Chain A
Amino acid sequence: MSSNVAGEKFEAVIGLEVHAQLLTNSKIFCGCSTAFGAAPNSQTCPVCTGQPGSLPVMNEKAIQYTIKTGLAMDCSISPYSRFARKNYFYPDLPKGYQISQYELPLCLKGRVVIETSEGKKEIGITRIHLEEDAGKNIHEAGPFSFVDLNRGGMPLMEIVSEPDMRSPAEAGAYMRKLRTILRYIGVCDGNMEQGSLRCDANVSVRPKGQKELGVKVELKNMNSFRFVEKALEYEINRQVRAIEAGEPILQETRLWDSAAGVTLSMRSKEEAHDYRYFPEPDLVPVTVPDNDIKRIKESLPELPDIKRERFVSVYGLPEYDADQLTAEKPVAEWFEETVKLGAKPKTVSNWVMGELMRLLNEEGAPIEKSSVTPQALAEMLALIDNGTISGKIAKTVFDEMYRTGKPAKKIVEEKGLVQITDTGALESAIDAVMAASPSEVERYRAGEEKLFGFFVGQVMKATKGKANPAAANDMLKKRLKG
C-alpha cells in the first residue's frame, strides 16, 4: 500500500485505541471462566450479571499482565492507580456502567517501534489501562433481542497510541507489532477474528505542513488487520475529497462496513455520551510496589526488537529474515533450536521461511504443531552437507518428513534417494545420455553452449534426480569437451 493515501497535498493523522483481551483463566472481577465459545450465559455469576448487591473483586493476574504489557512497551508503571466507573445504558452492560480506568491508568507514556517500506518509526503509547468487557447483544428474527453475558467481565486492556501514524500502512504495521509483542509476553492471543484483539481508530487529515490537527473521526468495527488498513484508506480519501469539495468534516463516530467497503456515520459529537466517570468505590486503589515491577520486568522474555537485532548480529541473518523469524516467538525459538544443533543459520532460515512455513500455512497450523522437529531438520541439513542427498532431493525428503514425521535418513533409505556421487555411476549415466543424443552433442561442440542445461536435465532424469549436481556438472563439461 502506498504511504501517500492522503495524496500530495494532505497528510493523515492516525491514533489507535486497541483492546486486547487478557489470557487469564477467570474474568476480571469474578471467578467465571474466560473460555471462548460456550453456550450463552453459561459462564456467568451474580457479579458479572450485575445482580443487586454483588461486588467486584480484582483479578490480580489481570493487573500483572497489564504491567507486563506496559513494561514491554516501555511505559512507566503508575505506583498508584485506580478504577473508575464509565456510566452508560446498554443491554449488554449489566451494571449500567463499565468498570474501567480513567484519570489514573496503570501504564503511561510508552513506545513501540514499527517498520514499513519507509523505514523504522517510533509510535508513542499514551496509556494502557485495564477494564472489563461488555456482553454481547444477539439479534435474531422475531420481536426479541438476546443478551449473552459470557463475554461480560472479560479482562480487557486498552492500549491508546499517540496520533503518531501518518498512513494506513503505518497503522497496520503498528497493529501487527502490538500483536507480536502481546503474543511474545503471553498476555493476549491476538486473535482479531474472535475479537480478542480489537481496534478503534481516530483519524483526521490536514494540509501538509499545517500544525493544527484536522477534525477527527472515530472509526469502529474493523475486525482484521486488513480491514484496519482498508477502513483508514477509505476514510482518509473521504475526508480529503470532502475538504477539497469545501465540505466540513464532522466530528463523529463511523462504522466500517466491510461488505460495502465504506465507513458509515454512527453518531455525531452531539450524540456522544457523557460517561460521568468517577472513582469506583467498590474497589480499593491499586498500589504497585517497586518489587513487583522488578519481578515482572525480570519475567519478561526477550522482546521481538531485541531478538531481531540479535538474529542479525549473532547469526548474520539479513534484516528481512530476522524480521520474519522473530514475528512469532515459537518460530524464533524453533529456528534457534535448529541452529543450536549445528545447522547453518541462513540455511535454517531459508528452510523455515520457505518449505516449513508453506506447509504450515497450507493447513493453518502453528509451528508448535509441526511434525518436523528442529532435530529432524538439523539431521536432514546434515545429510545435504555431507553429500548424502542433494538440495533438490531434500525438498522431496522434507515434504515426506512433514507428512509422515519420519526422520530424513529413513526416508532417504526407504526411497533410495541417496545422491549419486560415485564417479563410475555418473560416468555411465552421462555416457548413456550422450549416446542417446548425438546431434545435441554435435551442436554443443559446435558452440551451442546453452544446450548444457539440456544435458544436465537428461542426466538428472536418468538418475531420478539423485545425481550430485556439482559432480554431474563437472563431469558433463569434461565429457562434452571430448
Chain B
Amino acid sequence: MEIFDLTIEELRLRISRKEVSAAEALDSVLSRIDKVEGRIKAYNTLTPEKARGMLAEADEKAPLYGIPLAIKDNMCTRGVRTTCSSKMLENFVPVYESTVTSKLIKAGYVLVGKTNLDEFAMGSSTENSAFKTTSNPWDTERIPGGSSGGSAAAVAAGQCVGALGSDTGGSIRQPAALCGVVGLKPTYGRVSRYGLVAFASSLDQIGPITKTVKDTAILMNAISGRDPMDSTSAPIPVPDFEAAAGKDIKGIKVGIPKEYFIEGMDPEVDTAVREAIKKLESLGAIPVEISLPNTQYAIATYYVLATSEASSNLARYDGVKYGFRAEGRDLLDMYMQTRSRGFGPEVKRRIMLGTYALSAGYYEAYYGKAQQVRTLIKRDFDNALKEVDVIATPTSPTAAFKMGEKTADPLQMYLSDIFTISINLAGVPAISLPCGFTKSGLPIGLQLIGGHFDEEGIIKAAYAYEQSTGWHKRRPAL
C-alpha cells in the first residue's frame, strides 16, 4: 500500500514510529496528485511550497503532525487564495486564517491545497464551479456530488489523507456518499464558522471528509469547540470523539423514518441501506420504525431560508473592497455589472429567490412561514431522538449521476439533497459512510443522524458498522 492510501490514523502512527517521515508522506500525496489530478480536477489551488513550509514549522509532537489535508476552497487560509469557486473571488487572498485551519495548524497539519466546490457552496455536483467540474474517482464521467465535491474526490482518489468540507444542506455528506468516503456534519455550533465564507449562516457547518470513521473522529477532535470569534459556537465541552469509535452498540435504538424510504428512490440504494440496517441489528442495535412527519416540507423550507440568508451574505461582493470589479458608468452600474458578471447562474438564481422571499409584503408568507416550519422539523427530530439513539437513512436517493444530467433542471438537482437537508434545518449532527456499491461499481452512502451534540453516538454506531464491513477499504481504480 502506498503512503497516500493510508488513513490519518495509520499515517499518524507510522510517522510517530518514524517508519514514514512527514516529508515522505507529503511527497507521496503530491506525486499522487501529479498522477491523477488531470483526471479528477479536485483542486482549485495546490500549495506544495506552503506545505513544505508548514512541515518545517510544525511541532513533531502535535497530534496531526505531517498529515497532508485538503481544505474546501471556502475556508479562509491566510496568504492562500480562497476563491469559493467563484469568479467573484478568483484572486481573493485572505488576510486572516479561519478558526478551523488555525486549529489544524496548531495540530501540525500540512495544507495540500484548496478544493473545488459549487460556487459559494451552492449545488450538489460541483458543476456550479466557475472554474472546473470535478470528476468522481469511481467513474470520471460522473459528478462527485457537492458542494464539497473537490474534498470528497480528493480523499477518495488519495490526493490528500483527509479533508474539510462544509455542509449547509448536505454538502459534506452527499459528496462523501457519492465518492465512497466518510463525511460528518457536526451539530450546528459544534465547530466554529469563523473564516468559513458564509452561504446560509444558520445552516452552515464545517466538518471532516475522510477515508474512515476513526479519521473523522480524529479531525473532529482537532476542529471542535467554542470559539470566541463565533457567537453561534456552543460553550459545550468537547468529548474525545476518537474514544467513541470502538464502543459497543448493543442495545442502541436505530430509528428508521418511514418518510425516507420512498417511491422513486434508486432500488440499489434502498437495498443497500436496508442491508446496512440489518447489519446494525446483527451487531446488537434495535431497529425502530419512526416518523418525521414534516419531512415533505424540508426542501421548500430550506430553499426559502438558505436563499434568504444567502441573498444577504453575498451582498458584500459588490466590487468595492475586494474581489472582482467590473467597470461601470456610475456606482449603480458598477454594482450591477460586477454582480451580473461575477456570479454564476445558480448563485444569481438563489440571490434572486432570497431577495424575493425577504421583500416587503412577502416576508411573512415566505421567510416567516419557513421559520415556523423549521421549528416543526426540528421538533420532529427532537421527538424522534427521545425514542431512539440514532436515525438511519440513505444519504442520497441515487448514486453519482452523470455530468450534465441534472444541470438543466435545478429542481431535480435540489432533490439530490432531499435526505440531508432536514438535518441542517434541525441543527443535529449526521454522518455519511459507505454501505455498499451499485452493480456498476458506484458507492452508496448510509446516513446516521444523532441528537444535538451527540456526535459520539453516531460515530460509535458508524464505526461499529464500518468495522463489520469492508466497504471503506475499497479504493477506486485510477
A residues contacting B by CB (< 8 A) are: 46, 49-58, 85, 87, 89, 91, 94-97, 147, 274, 276-278, 281-284
Contacts and interface: CB of A to CB of B under 8 A. Distances in A.
A409 B194 CA distance: 66
A94 B229 contact: no
A37 B404 CA distance: 56
B198 A97 contact: no
The 6 closest A-B pairs by CB, nearest first: A96-B315, A276-B358, A281-B201, A281-B202, A52-B197, A53-B195
B183 to A, nearest CB: 21
A96 B358 CA distance: 15
Interface of B: 74-76, 82, 84, 89, 92, 94-96, 98, 193-198, 200-202, 228-232, 308-309, 311-312, 314-318, 320-322, 331, 335, 355, 358-360, 363, 367
Contacts of B74: 53
A53 B92 contact: no
A205 to B, nearest CB: 28
B424 to A, nearest CB: 12
B231 A55 contact: yes
Given A89-B315, A276-B312, 11 more contacts: A51-B95, A52-B197, A52-B316, A57-B230, A58-B231, A89-B318, A91-B318, A91-B320, A94-B316, A96-B312, A276-B358
Contacts of A55: 193-194, 229-232
12 contacts: A52-B92, A53-B76, A53-B98, A53-B195, A53-B196, A54-B195, A57-B228, A89-B318, A89-B335, A91-B318, A278-B308, A282-B231
A402 to B, nearest CB: 51
Instruction: Pick the most buried of B96, B232, B312, B358: most chain A CB atoms within 10 A of its CB.
Output: B312
Contacts of B232: 55, 281-284
A257 B74 CA distance: 46
A221 to B, nearest CB: 20
A284 B367 CA distance: 18
Contact of B231 (A50, A57, A95): A57
Given A87-B315, A281-B232, A52 B82 contact: yes
The secondary structure that dominates the B interface is loop
Contact of B363 (A95, A278, A282): A278
Contacts of A46: 94-96
Given A52-B82, A55-B194, A278-B363, A147 B320 contact: yes
Nearest to A58: B231
A96 B193 contact: no
B355 A276 contact: yes
B318 A96 contact: yes
B321 A49 contact: yes
A50 B315 CA distance: 10
A46 B84 CA distance: 17
B98 A274 contact: no
A56 B231 CA distance: 7
B61 to A, nearest CB: 30
Given A51-B96, A53-B194, A97 B312 contact: yes
A96 to B, nearest CB: 2
A281 B230 CA distance: 11
B311 to A, nearest CB: 8
Contacts of B230: 55, 57
A98 to B, nearest CB: 11
A94 B228 CA distance: 22
A283 B231 CA distance: 6
B322 to A, nearest CB: 7
Contacts of A277: 358, 363
A53 B197 contact: yes
Nearest to A275: B360
Contacts of B98: 53
A134 to B, nearest CB: 12
A274 B312 contact: no
Contacts of B84: 52
Nearest to A29: B231
Contact of A281 (B76, B309, B317): B309
Contacts of A57: 228-231
B337 to A, nearest CB: 13
Given A278-B308, A283-B231, A53 B320 contact: no
